Amino acid sequence: MSDKQFMEDAIALSFQAMRENRGGPYGAVVVKDGQIIGRGMNEVTSLNDPTAHAEMTAIREACQAIGSWQLSGCELYTSCEPCPMCLAAAYWSRLDRIYFGNSRETAARYSFNSQIIYDEVAKPHADRSLPIIPLMQNEALTAFEEWANKADRKGY
């Protein structure tokens, strides 16, 4: 299959999500070695899950398919430029590349505005609209210290 065909699959999933009232018009596929190993569509409203974005679902399915949390050697095709959450998941999963259809600016024109979150993340904690307050940092640090000394830990 070609890049165009993979993107067509992602776009088809965006129509399916919308037409079946699963969520907004978003679809995504993860591809490894020319094969789709993960599919996802937006199901935020049908699952009452704000993390049920197309990219997140496709990444989860792909990881299960290959039995690893790392998707190096894989590419993501998504009907729209990933939001900050999905973009972070793409980085964490070690995807090689992302292809997208609609831009985040186009999405904003249709009331899907991720730019607000991009802007918020760039601000210092004290200036964000969602308060982020450090609490019990010393106590929390002990988990990291134990992790550092854990002989059988799986690094990432």
Kindly list the catalytic residues: 55
Whether the Cβ atoms of residue 73 and residue 65 lie closer than 8 Å to each other: no
84 exposure class (CB count in 10 Å sphere: 0-12, 13-18, 19+): middle
| Per-residue buried b or exposed e for 137-152, using 16+ beta carbons within 10 Å of the residue's own CB | eeeeeeeeeeeeeeee
23 C-beta neighbours (distance < 10 Å), count: 21
Q: Quick one: residue 111, left, alpha or beta (phi over 0 = left, psi -120 to 50 = alpha)?
A: left
Alpha carbon distance 156, 69 (integer Å): 9
